[in-house]
């Protein structure tokens, strides 16, 4: 199973506007989601930009890595 990491730009905008510090990174493993401020990727990973075929959540830019490499 692969892991997908993407940046939620709405969270970054909200943090900027309100001064909050909500985690802007979303780590997806299948249907499971985790939110984080930092992700360490060990080993091979790739950055994907797909403007015409976004993820179901609407992300057009994300990072893909093997599940075992995301900590």
Q: What are residue 49's DSSP bridge partners?
A: 61
- Mean pLDDT across the stretch 12-20? 96
Q: Would the pLDDT of 66 be above 90?
A: no
For the question of whether the overall pTM of this predicted structure is more than 0.75, the answer is yes
At 69, the pLDDT band (50, 70, 90 cuts) reads: low
Report the chain's mean pLDDT, rounded to a whole number.
Answer: 90
- % of the chain residues with pLDDT over 90: 66
Highest mean pLDDT among 17-26, 33-42, 49-58: 17-26
Integer Cα distance of 54 and 12 in angstroms: 19
């Amino acid at each position: 199973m692969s892991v997908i990491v993407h940046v939620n730009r709405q969270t970054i905008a909200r943090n900027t506007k309100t001064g909050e510090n909500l985690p802007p990174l979303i780590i997806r493993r299948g249907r499971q989601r985790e939110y984080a401020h930092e992700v360490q990727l060990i080993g091979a990973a790739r950055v994907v930009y797909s403007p015409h075929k976004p993820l179901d959540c609407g992300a057009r830019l994300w990072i893909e890595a093997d599940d075992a490499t995301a900590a």
